[in-house]
């Protein structure tokens, strides 16, 4: 079956009780299917005769019986999400109304859409490129404003424009090389060779700049894990509650209240942060508490940033040295808690770890701690207004292959190897870059990417 010529349908809203649900239809037979199962009220026109981008009130009818009262939105190609004729049926929310309407639509000639197939058709029909299609997933999965800003930038084509400029420059360079291969009697002039080498060097520098955004892209999409560690009763759970702005963890003056790790996600300066509250670090004969401490050590190993909470109302203790040793080679922040009490803690002078003083009782210093967390995570370089393009893992892998191909091509050109070798490596680079926007994407790659979408998008 030719997937681009048939008509697909799916429920595009989450399954469950809600005010509304939407059934989406796209393809050559969408309008005909609308005529078959939609009965307009009053003077509304059939789908095939209605103007594009209009909404019509009526009912979905199945075997002569009304299924539900609906609003039908008619969207005619090419100004649609898929660049195909589309219908969107807004019905009452709930599992049953949407399912019955979908069954009715399928009975009239549509088939159930595959995951991400609407967006895949938008790509195949040329409305968006592959990088923009991936941005749709990022928009849906965004957990913070900053993450959504990056996704919206990519969806608008910000990354695609840069990638296309890079690919165009490489294609021009490759064309010059292949022209000299086709006409071997004409040697490359020294100044021409120098210009070709300069283009390759500029492209390598540009790729390196894009690769620098990979880690930030990963953090914005996946979040960063931060383990909150420290001795019992130092205020770890109180700190978690303050950072989350609600009472998530049980707080008690009794040491050892937290017996297990607690994970919660928060928005810190636009970044999705997964905080892990841990059991207090100490030796314990209690089997349950000992297991909690073991899990604490596992959380420390897996965390990308550690908040070491120390009790500022106590003098420096020998066992604090063990805590400091735990973070000596890790990205960490020392949080001195209980500054609402007289401060007795004196930290070693040679610490290279940021220190933030807070009171989990009054909230003093919590905003500063959030700022330091963001600065340590993103090096303090970006705000919502200056957010960069942030590539994903697939883009990173393709850019690394392009970088290696360019390096090999440049070295071959400089040492005077046959131009065929230069061209082969340049082809590798061009094809790798083309994978990002979809120029050279394989069917298998497309299947992998769009399988990550939900059905109906």
**pLDDT digits 0-9 by tens, 137-195:** 999 888 888 888 888 989 999 999 999 999 999 999 998 888 878 776 555 565 577 88
Residue 141 within any structural domain of the chain: yes
Residues 186 and 91 reside in one and the same domain: no
Residues 396 and 314 reside in one and the same domain: no
Residues 74 and 44 reside in one and the same domain: yes
Most confident of 31-40, 181-190, 252-261, 377-386: 31-40
> 18 falls in which pLDDT band (50, 70, 90)?
confident
> 296 falls in which pLDDT band (50, 70, 90)?
low
Residue 456 within any structural domain of the chain: no
Q: What is the DSSP letter of 415?
A: T
**What's the CATH number where 141 sits?**
1.20.120.430
Residues 306 and 184 reside in one and the same domain: no
Residues 149 and 164 reside in one and the same domain: yes
Residue 436 within any structural domain of the chain: yes
In this predicted structure, what is the pLDDT of residue 405? 96
**What's the CATH number where 93 sits?**
3.30.1360.120
Residues 309 and 228 reside in one and the same domain: yes
CB 424 within 8 A of CB 245: no
CB 3 within 8 A of CB 20: no
In this predicted structure, what is the pLDDT of residue 261? 63
Residue 126 within any structural domain of the chain: no
> 375 falls in which pLDDT band (50, 70, 90)?
confident
How far is 270 from 280, CA to CA, in rounded Å? 29
In this predicted structure, what is the pLDDT of residue 230? 84
Residues 395 and 380 reside in one and the same domain: no
Pick the last residue of a domain from 113, 144, 159.
113
Neighbours of 93 (CB within 10 A): 17
| Statement: residue 259 has pLDDT above 50 | no
The percentage of the chain sitting over the pLDDT mark of 70, rounded to a whole number, equals 87
| pLDDT higher at 283 or 138 | 138
The mean pLDDT value for 45-57 works out to: 90
Residues 226 and 365 reside in one and the same domain: yes
Pick the last residue of a domain from 385, 404, 430.
385
* Residue partners of 405: CB distance under 8 A and separation at least 6: 425, 426, 427, 428, 429, 432
Residues 158 and 279 reside in one and the same domain: no
pTM of the model: 0.79
Pick the last residue of a domain from 346, 368, 385.
385
**pLDDT digits 0-9 by tens, 393-423:** 999 999 999 999 999 999 999 988 888 999 9
Residue 205 within any structural domain of the chain: yes
In this predicted structure, what is the pLDDT of residue 258? 46
| pLDDT higher at 10 or 2 | 10
| Statement: residue 252 has pLDDT above 70 | no
The mean pLDDT value for 94-121 works out to: 94
Residue 361 within any structural domain of the chain: yes
Residue 3 within any structural domain of the chain: no
**pLDDT digits 0-9 by tens, 350-367:** 888 899 999 999 999 999
**What's the CATH number where 266 sits?**
3.40.50.300
| pLDDT higher at 291 or 131 | 131
Residue 104 sits in which domain range? 8-113
Residues 175 and 308 reside in one and the same domain: no
Residue 266 within any structural domain of the chain: yes
CB 101 within 8 A of CB 20: no
| pLDDT higher at 204 or 289 | 204
Residues 251 and 352 reside in one and the same domain: yes
Number of domains the chain contains: 3
How far is 261 from 249, CA to CA, in rounded Å? 10
In this predicted structure, what is the pLDDT of residue 244? 85
Residues 184 and 282 reside in one and the same domain: no
């Amino acid at each position: 079956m030719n997937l681009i010529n048939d008509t697909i349908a799916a429920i595009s809203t989450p399954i469950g009780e809600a005010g509304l649900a939407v059934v989406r239809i796209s393809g050559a037979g969408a309008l005909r299917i609308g005529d078959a199962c939609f009965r307009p009220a009053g003077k509304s026109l059939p789908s095939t005769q209605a103007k594009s981008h209009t909404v019509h009130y009526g009912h979905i009818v199945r075997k002569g019986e009304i299924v539900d009262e609906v609003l039908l939105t008619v969207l005619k190609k090419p100004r649609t999400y898929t660049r195909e004729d589309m219908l969107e049926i807004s019905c009452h929310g709930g599992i049953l109304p949407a399912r019955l309407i979908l069954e009715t639509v399928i009975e009239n000639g549509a088939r159930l859409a595959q995951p991400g197939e609407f967006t895949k058709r938008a790509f195949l029909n040329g409305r968006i490129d592959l990088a923009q299609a991936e941005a749709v997933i990022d928009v849906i999965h965004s957990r913070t404003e900053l993450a959504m800003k990056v996704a919206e930038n990519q969806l608008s084509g910000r990354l695609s424009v840069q990638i296309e400029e890079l690919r165009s420059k490489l294609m021009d360079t490759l064309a010059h090389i292949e022209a000299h291969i086709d006409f071997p009697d004409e040697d490359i002039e020294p100044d021409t060779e120098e210009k070709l080498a300069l283009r390759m060097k500029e492209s390598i520098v540009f790729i390196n700049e894009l690769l620098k955004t990979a880690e930030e892209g990963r953090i914005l999409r996946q979040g960063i894990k931060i383990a909150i560690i420290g001795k019992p009763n130092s205020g770890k759970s109180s700190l978690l509650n303050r950072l989350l702005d609600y009472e998530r963890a049980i707080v008690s003056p009794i040491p050892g209240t937290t017996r297990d790790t607690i994970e919660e996600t928060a928005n810190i300066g636009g970044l999705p942060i997964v905080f892990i509250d841990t059991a207090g670090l100490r030796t314990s004969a209690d089997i349950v508490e000992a297991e909690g401490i073991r899990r604490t050590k596992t959380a420390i190993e897996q965390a990308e940033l550690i908040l070491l909470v120390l009790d500022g109302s106590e003098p420096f203790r020998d066992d604090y040295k063990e805590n400091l040793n735990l973070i000596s080679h890790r990205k960490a922040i020392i949080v001195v808690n209980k500054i609402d009490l007289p401060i007795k803690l004196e930290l070693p002078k040679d610490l290279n770890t940021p220190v933030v003083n807070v009171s989990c009782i009054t909230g003093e210093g919590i905003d500063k701690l959030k700022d330091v967390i963001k600065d340590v995570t993103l090096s303090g370089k970006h705000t919502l207004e200056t957010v960069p393009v942030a590539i994903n893992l697939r883009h990173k892998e393709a850019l690394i292959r392009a970088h290696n191909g360019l390096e090999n091509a440049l070295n071959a050109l400089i040492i005077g190897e046959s131009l065929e070798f230069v061209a082969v490596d340049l082809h590798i680079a061009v094809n790798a870059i083309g994978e990002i926007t979809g120029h050279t994407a394989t069917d298998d790659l497309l299947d992998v990417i769009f399988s990550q979408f939900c059905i109906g998008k």
